[in-house]
Structure 1
Amino acid sequence: MALTLEKDYIDYFTNNREEFQESLLSEAQNVRGKIEEILLIGNIDLLSNAHKLVMYTIQGKDDELESFAKIEGVSWASHSLTLAFKLEWVQAIRRTIWKYLQEFDKLNQIDLDSDRFFNIERQINDRIDKFLNELFLSYSEYKDKLIESQRALVENLSVPIIPITATVCVLPLIGSIDTYRTDTIEEKVLMEISRLRIGTLVIDLSGIAQMETEVIEHMMKVIEGANMMGCECVITGLRPEIVRKVTSIGLNFESKAQTKATLQQALEDYLK
């Protein structure tokens, strides 16, 4: 439902658009200096969008307001613009709307009764709050999807299975390995064995300095799973620290996989 005197309000805000924008910028001092920067970063026209928000609010276009909020949320999230900055801007718009409604009533000598005032107050503030709520939800959903896609990319890069021949692949592991990463390794290894029909998987551990007991035990299970799928595993590059840890807990890689001193040695055997 649109506001009472909707057409008069629209004409007033439209005819005084430049003055409204200047008043708005004086309400949001932190925004004034970043108008051009944000336009360049994300092609986001803050002043034009502020006018659109005002028009949707006055006209009671709730569906358009919701759609606009979702678009704004994605735009701000995709360009890493902060929600605190956006909140300051929208609250400045809210204050400026009320300032101009008051000026309109004075100019037209309209004496608001309490019922009409509170009805207008509820409609305007409810719509702006709804806009903010939808914008925050849209922003958060986009960020969550972005984080998830980045996490999946990192996980994929952290388990780089490299084909060497039609049936031989290499899995070079570097950095630290925790239980979360071994879960990722297990999932990726078993999926790629099936997809690529890997007959031999060379797992190079020369880039791993330490392994905790639970990680070693999990890696053993990864090798067992690969063996069950008909894939032979070859372990290369075991460091003395890891060998000592493996033997101290009574395990033995050689019972489940071949071992070679270096990746180069293993590749020479399979590339002859």
Structure 2
Amino acid sequence: MDRIFTNEAADRFFEENKKLFEQELLNEAVTVRDKINDILEIGNIDLINNAHQLVSYILEGRENELLAFARQEGIAWATHSLTLSFKLEWVQAIRRTLWSFINKFTEAQPYEYDFFGLEKQINNRVDTFLNAFFINYSTYKDSLLKAQRELVENLSVPIIPITQQISILPLIGTIDYFRAKVMEEKVLTEIGRLRIQTLFMDLSGIANMEAEVIDQLMKIIDGAAMMGCRTVITGLRPDVVRNVIRLGVRFDEQTETIGSLQQALQTYLLK
């Protein structure tokens, strides 16, 4: 990209009016100006300095720096979950303020400049920044959400090895259908990876399970048996037992139920 202005007078004008530019920019960005200190504190993002940096990339036609800056900003805003509407308002305020100062600079020589050409160059560069910003924001935000989801999934299915052949799966909280499906995939994967022969599935932290979750639980037990892993159910609470009975569910002969995890550990580890 080419420079917007090729003479030194333009550089001097924008440098000498730097403070006036900031004042007009703050007047344009009504909502964001009250959040500048918060954004600086939360994300270490200096909006005023970043505005000057963006303007210099636009006026000087530094495309690579403009795109790199958009990427940096997109990642920073995604990382700290900053409000996108603030960013959009801020960049649009920069656009309006920049045009105001270009008008002030060129008003003495209006016939020396192609204003249609100026409009195309400047607005295209602002839009290029915004597009790159939102693409990088969205991409990085998606990667963060994926990492968080994987972390939650791993924490929701915590398989703990006790010996080379025995592991524990302590389940706590509510199990919905989605968590049960995640549990199925993780359990079967870990049985194969760790070569688990006996899995203690402790349900003492589960107060209730819906019918579809119980059905999914049975599929997990059947799948584990197909892989040569014996499942030992511990800590069944009365409400869960009543649901199992009401649904007419029967564990297969290889599945053992023991009152508590402590009793199961004593039984199997003392063999």
Give me the TM-score of the superposition, normalised by structure 2.
0.92
1:140 is matched with: 138
1:230 is matched with: 228
2:63 is matched with: 62
Cα deviation code 1:155-208 (max 9, x no counterpart): 100111112222211111122212211111111111211222212100011222
Whole-Å Cα distance in 2 between the matches of residues 79 and 188 of structure 1?
30
Change (3 A) 1:6 1:50: farther
AA of the residue aligned to 1:225 = G
Whole-Å Cα distance in 1 between the matches of residues 221 and 98 of structure 2?
66
Change (3 A) 1:122 1:94: same
Unaligned segments of structure 2, at least 5 residues? none
What does 1:38-49 correspond to in 2, within 5 Å? 38-49=39-50
Contact 1:9 1:58 (8 Å CA) reproduced: no
1:183 is matched with: 181
Contact 2:25 2:97 (8 Å CA) reproduced: yes
AA of the residue aligned to 1:95 = R
Moved more, 116-125 or 21-30: 21-30
Report the count of equivalent residues: 269
Which one of the candidate residues 171, 174, 180 is aligned to 2:169? Answer: 171
Whole-Å Cα distance in 1 between the matches of residues 106 and 58 of structure 2?
18
AA of the residue aligned to 2:83 = T
Could you say what secondary structure the match of 1:211 adopts? coil
1:111 is matched with: 110
Could you say what secondary structure the match of 2:109 adopts? coil
Contact 2:4 2:61 (8 Å CA) reproduced: no
What does 1:203-222 correspond to in 2, within 5 Å? 203-222=201-220
Cα deviation code 1:18-53 (max 9, x no counterpart): 221222122223333443333332222212211111
2:238 is matched with: 240
Whole-Å Cα distance in 2 between the matches of residues 69 and 242 of structure 1?
53
Could you say what secondary structure the match of 2:31 adopts? helix
1:93 is matched with: 94
Whole-Å Cα distance in 2 between the matches of residues 233 and 206 of structure 1?
15
1:265 is matched with: 263
AA of the residue aligned to 2:238 = P
Cα deviation code 1:208-251 (max 9, x no counterpart): 22222222121111111111211111001122332233233332
Structure 1 position 61, deviation (Å): 2.1
Whole-Å Cα distance in 2 between the matches of residues 256 and 112 of structure 1?
91
Could you say what secondary structure the match of 1:18 adopts? helix
Unaligned segments of structure 1, at least 5 residues? none
1:160 is matched with: 158
Structure 1 position 135, deviation (Å): 0.8
AA of the residue aligned to 1:104 = F
AA of the residue aligned to 1:43 = N
Whole-Å Cα distance in 1 between the matches of residues 254 and 105 of structure 2?
83
Could you say what secondary structure the match of 2:114 adopts? helix
Change (3 A) 1:175 1:128: same
1:76 is matched with: 77
Change (3 A) 1:256 1:180: farther
2:193 is matched with: 195
Q: Does 1:252 pair with 2:250?
A: yes
2:5 is matched with: 5
Over the aligned positions, Cα root-mean-square deviation in angstroms equals 1.9
